[in-house]
Structures are given as C-alpha cells and as structure tokens.
Homo-oligomer: A and B are copies of this chain.
Amino acid sequence: MPNQSGIDAVGRVFHALADPSRRAIVERLVRGPAAVKELAEPLAMSLPAVMQHLKVLEDAGVIVSEKHGRVRSCRLEPQTLRTAERWLSGQRTEGERQLDQLDDYLKGT
C-alpha cells in the first residue's frame, strides 16, 4: 500500500499518466471525444485491458465518460491535467525562479 491513504488526487493523476498506453489515450482525447472502441484500436491489447486503463484515468479525474445507447463516449477533463501541471511548476529551485523572471522580463519588453 502507498504511504498515504486514499485522497491523494495529484498522486492518482501522476500514476495514471505513468503508463504509456494511458498517455496514448490522453493524447488521442486531446483531439476530441472518442468511443472506447476507437481508443482501443491502436493499443494492441484486449478490450477489457483498455477498460481498466480507462477506469484508472477516470478515477484520477483525467477523463469523464458517459454512455449513449451501447457506446460509451470518453473525453478529457482538462482541469485535472492543469492541476498536475501546476504542482510541477511549483517545484522550481531558486536558480530556476531567477531564470523565469529574466524570461518574463525579456517577453515583456
């Protein structure tokens, strides 16, 4: 069991993105919503395996899905990726922060 209990939102997102198949799914969904079948196609694995990946992504809040008729449509929940991005951008050393300021200065001119 991981060190901390269940409510580790950022951790779930990073864990979801650690798998190349799941990142491929995300990369596909950036271009718009897709059905499970379509997401499965390029992935060289069984449908149930894909479903598990989708569950991990959905539990992490990276995607949402809803069923219309017999097809489940999945789409990205962009805010969640932004949260992870924000955690990363928070981890800057003092040196980096100075470079960032220089950067802003140059852009602002």
Interface residues, chain A, CB within 8 Å of chain B? 2-4, 8, 10-12, 14-15, 17-21, 23, 26-27, 30, 32, 43-45, 76, 78, 81, 84-85, 87-89, 91-96
Nearest chain B CB to A84's CB is how many angstroms away?
A: 6
Interface of A: prevailing SS: helix
By CB atoms of chain B within 10 A, which of A3, A23, A30, A92 has the most? Answer: A3
What are 13 A-B contacts with C-beta separation under 8 Å? A2-B20, A3-B45, A4-B21, A8-B20, A11-B19, A11-B23, A12-B18, A14-B15, A14-B18, A76-B93, A78-B92, A81-B88, A85-B89
Q: Are B45 and A19 closer than 8 Å at their CB atoms? A: no
Within the complex, the shortest CB–CB distance from A54 to chain B, in Å, comes to 14
Give Cα distance in the complex from A36 to B18, angstroms: 25
For A11, the chain B residues whose CB sits under 8 A away are 17-20, 23
